[in-house]
Amino acid sequence: MHSTNYFNTLIEIAEDSPATQGEIPPLTGSKKSVANLQFEMLHEHPYEFSSDDILFAVFATRKELPQEDLVEQRALFFSKGQPCFRASPLTKRYGWGVHSNEEGKIAIFGVESEAYQKFVTDDSVVKKKAMRSKRA
């Protein structure tokens, strides 16, 4: 089984992110985007879920998977590698860093926030850059 979880790690915003602060992803149309769903879960439940939990929940919501199929579908989902939060629109476009604590539970912090800056300068926290949106 593959995992997207990190531990004691900050996923910093992408080098080419246009955001100078954490932005709430705009709602476009009637269906919520991946960014909207990830933001809602993380904003309302900091350090409550792992990366795997959120990525699968967003997948299940968007695919409208029935409750009784979730256990089987989660195993199938993680039977192959999945993009982690380094590829999330939150870290690539909207200015949110993703911090994973020692238990692998995650929370988001705007790039402008004191907490984000503290994680960046803390040598005990592993840093990973979000993926760039454009090739260099």
Domain ranges of the chain: 9-129
Alpha-carbon distance 114 to 100, whole Å? Answer: 17
Residues 31-49: pLDDT tens digits? 899 999 999 999 999 999 9
Contact 77, 3 (CB under 8 A): no
Q: What is the mean pLDDT of the chain?
A: 95
Long-range Cβ pairs for the range 75-78 (8 Å, 24+): 75/1, 78/1, 78/2, 78/3, 78/52
Alpha-carbon distance 136 to 90, whole Å? Answer: 20
Alpha-carbon distance 74 to 89, whole Å? Answer: 22
Alpha-carbon distance 106 to 128, whole Å? Answer: 14
The pLDDT of residue 69 is 95
The pLDDT of residue 29 is 83
Task: Report the predicted TM-score, pTM, of the whole model to 2 decimal places.
Answer: 0.92
Is 136 a residue whose pLDDT tops 70? no
Residue type for 69, please?
D
